[in-house]
Amino acid sequence: MAVLICGGAGYIGSHVNKLLSAHGIETVVYDNLVYGHREAVKWGHFIQGDLNDMACLNAVFETYEIEAVLHFAAYAYVGESVTEPEKYYYNNICCTLNLLQAMRRYGCDKVIFSSTCATYGEPEAVPILEIFRQNPVNPYGFTKLAVERILKDYDLAYGLKYVVLRYFNAAGADPDGEIGESHTPENHLIPLVLQAALGKRKGVSVFGTDYATRDGSCIRDYIHVSDLADAHWRALDYLMNGGASDCFNLGNESGTSVLEVIQSAKEVTGKDFSIELCGRRQGDPAMLVGSSRKIRAKFGWKPLRPEIRTIVEDAWKWEMNKQY
């Protein structure tokens, strides 16, 4: 079996590539390297290409016998999606249609889609269940929801089978230190905090200290990227064994506040750094925590590295010896 990993040079895709390769699965990474890193593709085959290049995409399917696709190739900066919605609608939706067209042309009928908790918008309650109303509040979340709907329609019309995995806050790094998180620009809390600990940043801003939470700062559900990778491997195994299309949340079912992440980082690194307390950002819910009961029951999945200290420790090892 060969699987195509679109966006496999990115943060989550590269960790999935490593795990699938460890399970003996032949991987083909397809990435335009706009946000991905060639150095992160240490396993499988690599093709630099864009999903808007149908000739290149078709050539991949003609060269390799692709049995399933894992789709990570989306733009994912929420703020940018508000100021540059065309960029997000084109890449995240139109280019996905190109991928699905190529899959149909070459008889590939299984896909795992990287979605997001942003499809829920302001949560009805926490922890967030898959049955909750999806009402995204930004173009990024809407593009992910649109693709979820497209996949549902393709299943009904063409028999395409899919697993949608809705992430909460992916965090941490490969425990072996081979790959990790590297974004330009960086906007994820844990690498920002660790870069402040290394002196690469002046400090860290905390947006909102008056939320109805245990310390006044926002609470988020951080999940180790290696645990995310394990969920993708299980989803692939499920589809390859005839599983029906389905959607799952991926979270730890426990939340950590911004101030708790900062405190954990100070303990792990032994470094102090400045904190700027700022006002709330528009659209930031007080708490986003996902229920993972459904995927635990269906796949027997559970996080193996759930503690925030472990997540921060793995991210710190990577940040100190970053290779790209």
Q: Phi then psi for 257, rounded to 5 degrees? A: -80, 165
Residue 300 tokens read as 């027997």
Q: What is the DSSP letter of 279?
A: P
The one-letter code for the residue type at 23 is H
Residue 113 tokens read as 């889609």
Strands (E), 105-229: 110-116, 161-167, 169-171, 203-207, 219-220, 222-224
Catalytic status, residue 167:
no
Residue with tokens 């992440």: 261
Q: Phi then psi for 197, rounded to 5 degrees? A: -65, -30
H-helix or E-strand spanning residue 197 = helix 189-197
* Active-site residue, selected from the candidate residues 11, 35, 140, 222: 140
- Ordered strands of the 219-220 beta sheet: 256-257, 219-220, 287-288
Strands (E), 117-155: none
Residues serving a catalytic function are: 140
